[in-house]
Amino acid sequence: MEQKNRFDAFDIVLICLALAVFALVGVRTVSNPDVYAHLASGKQIVETGLKAADSLSYTAGENTWTNPYWLYDVLMYKIAGTNPSALTLLHVLMATLAFALLIPMTKKWSGAPSIALAITIAAWLIVPRFDVRPGIFLMIFPAIYILLLNSKLKPWLVMGILSALQILWANLGATHVLGIIIGLAYLAQAIRMKNYEGGEDSPVIPMAALSGTLVVASCITPYGPVLLAAGFKETLGFGSSYLPLWISSFNELFDSKLPAHIVNTSLFIGACGLIFLKNRLPLAATIIAVYGAFNVVLNIVSVEQFAVLAFPFLCLSLAATGRFLLDKFGAAAGLKIVGSVFAFILLMSTGTLIATNNVYLSIGHPSEFGLGNNHDVVSAKALEGIESNTELENIINFVTDGGYIAVTSDKIKVFFDQRIKLYDEEHVKEFSDAIGSVDLENWDAFEQKWNPEIILINCLSRESLFSIPRILSSKKWALAYMDGTSIVLAKPSKNNEALLKNIALKKEGLETIEQTRAAYTSKLGSFKCAPVPARLIGAASAFLQFNRFEEAYKLYSVLKAGVPNMDKVDLRLGMCELSLEKNQQAIQSLKTATENDPGDFSGWLYLYKAYESEGIEAKAQNALANARSINPEAAEEFLTKDKARRK
C-alpha cells in the first residue's frame, strides 16, 4: 500500500510469507478426476501418435479431435505415468513462480503490504481450482510476458523471446491466446505514450510487430491455426475440449457462495482503484485486468486466469485505496503498519483454514491438506472387481470415471470420458437422456443400441442415483458391487457369472463403506477437520435410493456431524428417521431442513407426515399448507402415493 521502490528486510519477509501461504493452498490431495483424462490422452499420444484414431474408447470410432493441451498431456504422462499426485508440487511451483515474477513490476506502484494482500486474494480466488490441471500449470506464461514487457530489455529481444515462448504455450494449452491479448495491451499503451504523452521513443513498431508475430506463432502447432480459434472459444467459455469440473462432482450439494464472493470482492477492489487512483492508470495493466474480469464474469471456471491477469492491478488498487482512506482519516504515516498488520492476520488465517481443511469443507471440495491421491472420487475398487471377474472389454461408464479407467486399465475401453469433443453430440445426448429420463423408454432404446452387459455408475453424480432403481426395476440387471463411490450393475450372463457369484467382492464393497465411516468418525472433532467424505456421501444417497433406511440413517447421522453445511442433509436424515419410526427425531431434523430451505416443498411434506405420525394435527396441516403453496401438484401426488402405500 505504501509506494516504495526498494524493499527492506521486513518487506521481504512479508512477501515471502505471502508466497509460502499461496503455495500452501495448492498442497492438497488430488481429487480432480479430470487429471486422469489428461494423463490418458498423454498415454495415447505416446503410444499411438497425436492424430491416430482413438484407442481408449469403443464408441469414438474413427473420430479424431483437436487437443489444445496435447503437449501438456504428454509431459504430464511422461513425468507421472498414472500417478497424478507426483505432479502436485510441480503445479504449486509453477503457480507460485507466476506471482513471484510479477513482484518486480508491482513494487513500482505498491508497497509490500499491498503485494502481500494481493497474493492472498489470488490464493483465495483459485482455492476451488488449485489442483493438478493445465490452467494452474500455465499461469506462469502470462506472468513471464508481463515481466518481460515491463523490463528494460531491447524491444526486439523481447519480441524474439516471447515469439519462442508463444510457440511453446500454443502447444501446451488453450490459454495461449492470453499472450496475444497481453501483446495488444502493450501495443495500446505504446500508442498512447506516443500520441498523448509525447513519447518519441515509444516502441509502437516493435509492439505492433510483436502482436502480429504472436498470432503467427500461435499457429505453429500440429493442428495449424485451429488451436488459435479453439483457444479463444475456450478462454471465453464458449466450449471446452475437456469437460471440466468446477470443484467436484457433488459441490452443488454445498451451494457455497464463497468463490463468487471472493471474485466479487476482487472486482470491487479493482473498481476502487479506478476511483481512488490519483495518477494516470498504467494502460496495459488496466486492459489486461479488465479482460481478466470480463472473462471471469462470463465464465467463473477461468478464475485462475483472472487471478494472474488482475494481480498487478489489484496491487495498484489496494495501494491507491489504502492511501485514500488513510489520508482521509489523517493517518497516512501509519499506512505501512496498518497494511502490514492486516496482511499478516489475513495470511495467518488463510494458512490455518487451509491446513485444517476448513476451506475445503465450506466449498464441498473432497481434497485435504497434504499429498497423495484421493481414490474415493473415482471407481478404483470397482474397476479392480470388474477386471478380475470378467473378460469383458467394453462397459458403460459415467464421464467422470472415463479418464481414470482409460489411463489405469489396459483391458477395458471406456464408453466416454472428459475428452468430450471426441464424441458425437448425439452419442452424449443419448446417454444423458437414458440416465436422466423418468421412465424406461429412453433407457430401453439406449440398451438396445449398445447392448451393454456391465454398467459402472459413479454414485457422486446426482442424476446417476435416480437411474439405478429404474434400471433394476426392468429385472434385466443385478447389483454386483457397491462401495459408496461406485455401483456395478451386471446382466446375468455367462460373461458376468463369476462377477455376480462373487459374494466376497460384494462384502468387500460394503466393508469399505463401513471402514470409511469408522475412520471418518474417529477424525471428527479434531483440530484438523476430517475432509469431505466423498464415499460416504455417495453411499448415503445410494442406500436412500434403495430404501435401505437403516444404513442411510447411520451415514447421514455422521454426515450431519461432519458436514452440516451439506445441502439437504437434514431433509435426508429426517426421511430416514421417519421411515425408521423415529418420529420425534424426524420432526427436529425436518424442522431444521425447512428453516434452512423454506422454499423446498419436499421438506414441508415430510414434516407434515412426521407431525401426522405423532398425532400433532394442527402443525401437520400447517406444514401441508406450506407445501401446497409452493407446489400444489407435487403435494397432491405425494399424498396420493402415501395413501396407496398405507393400503
pLDDT at 2 over 60: no
Burial class (CB in 10 A: 0-12, 13-18, 19+), 5: exposed
Q: 397 has which bridge partners? A: 456
Sign of the alpha-carbon dihedral angle for 345, 347, 350, 353: negative
Same domain, yes or no: 472 and 419: yes
In a domain, 416, yes or no: yes
What percent of the chain shows pLDDT beyond 70? 95
Same domain, yes or no: 56 and 169: yes
Same domain, yes or no: 481 and 591: no
Residue 330: which pLDDT band, with cuts at 50, 70 and 90? low
Same domain, yes or no: 345 and 231: yes
Q: What confidence tens digit (pLDDT) does each residue in 563-572 have? A: 988 888 999 9
pLDDT at 449 over 50: yes
Q: H/E element holding 110?
A: none
**SS3 state at 244:** coil
CATH code: domain of residue 591: 1.25.40.10
Same domain, yes or no: 58 and 159: yes
Phi and psi dihedrals of 373, rounded to 5? -110, 135
- C-alpha distance from residue 136 to each of 91, 362, 437, 622 (Å): 6, 22, 37, 52
Between 20 and 154, residue with greater pLDDT = 20
Lowest-pLDDT choice from 264-268, 379-383, 471-475, 599-603? 471-475
Contact yes or no for 135/174 (Cβ under 8 A):
no
Residue 1: which pLDDT band, with cuts at 50, 70 and 90? very low
Contact yes or no for 414/55 (Cβ under 8 A):
no
Q: H/E element holding 512?
A: helix 503-523
pLDDT at 248 over 90: no
pLDDT at 504: 95
Residue 306: which pLDDT band, with cuts at 50, 70 and 90? very high
Range with the largest mean pLDDT of 132-141, 314-323, 441-450, 595-604: 132-141
In a domain, 410, yes or no: yes
Question: For the stretch 431-456, what's the b/e string if a residue is b when 16 or more beta carbons lie within 10 angstroms of its beta carbon?
Answer: beebbebeeeebbeebbeebebbbbb
Return the closest-CA partner of residue 573 out of 614, 525, 541. Answer: 541
pLDDT at 331: 58
Same domain, yes or no: 216 and 345: yes
In a domain, 353, yes or no: yes
Domain endpoint, select from 486, 505, 524:
505
Residue 433: which pLDDT band, with cuts at 50, 70 and 90? confident
Q: How many CA atoms lie within 13 A of 370 on its CB side?
A: 12
Q: What confidence tens digit (pLDDT) does each residue in 334-368 have? A: 667 888 899 999 999 999 999 999 999 999 999 99
Return the closest-CA partner of residue 178 out of 215, 203, 205, 221. Answer: 215
Q: What confidence tens digit (pLDDT) does each residue in 487-541 have? A: 999 999 899 999 999 999 999 999 999 999 999 999 998 999 999 999 999 999 9
**SS3 state at 599:** coil
Same domain, yes or no: 460 and 602: no
Domain endpoint, select from 363, 389, 415:
363
What is the mean predicted confidence (pLDDT) over 277-290? Answer: 84
In a domain, 248, yes or no: no
What is the mean predicted confidence (pLDDT) over 144-170? Answer: 94
What is the mean predicted confidence (pLDDT) over 280-299? Answer: 90
In a domain, 528, yes or no: no
Same domain, yes or no: 22 and 82: yes
Distance CA 181, CA 642 (A): 61
Same domain, yes or no: 454 and 583: no
Residue 643: which pLDDT band, with cuts at 50, 70 and 90? confident
pLDDT at 415 over 90: yes
Helix-then-strand count for the chain, H and E? 30, 4
Sign of the alpha-carbon dihedral angle for 242, 243, 244, 245: negative
pLDDT at 145 over 90: yes
In a domain, 635, yes or no: yes
Same domain, yes or no: 490 and 571: no
Residue 202: which pLDDT band, with cuts at 50, 70 and 90? confident
Q: How many domains would you assign to the chain?
A: 3
Distance CA 175, CA 161 (A): 18
In a domain, 541, yes or no: no
Cell of 584: 420425534
What is the mean predicted confidence (pLDDT) over 371-383? Answer: 93
pLDDT at 16: 96
In a domain, 559, yes or no: no
Domain endpoint, select from 505, 531, 553:
505
Domain that holds residue 578: 567-647
Residue 66: which pLDDT band, with cuts at 50, 70 and 90? confident
Q: H/E element holding 391?
A: none
What is the pLDDT of the chain when averaged over all its residues?
90
- Contacts for 116 with CB less than 8 Å, ≥ 6 apart: 14, 15, 17, 18, 340, 343, 347
Contact yes or no for 318/263 (Cβ under 8 A):
no
What percent of the chain shows pLDDT beyond 90? 65
Same domain, yes or no: 596 and 468: no
DSSP-assigned letters across all residues of 526-551? SSSPPPP-HHHHHHHHHHHHTT-HHH
pLDDT at 79: 96
Same domain, yes or no: 350 and 454: no
Tell me, yes or no, if the pTM score tops 0.75: yes
pLDDT at 64: 79
Lowest-pLDDT choice from 135-139, 178-182, 457-461, 548-552? 457-461
Residue 281: which pLDDT band, with cuts at 50, 70 and 90? confident
What is the mean predicted confidence (pLDDT) over 599-607? Answer: 93
pLDDT at 3 over 60: no
pLDDT at 334: 66
| Number of Cβ atoms within 10 Å of the Cβ of 2 | 22
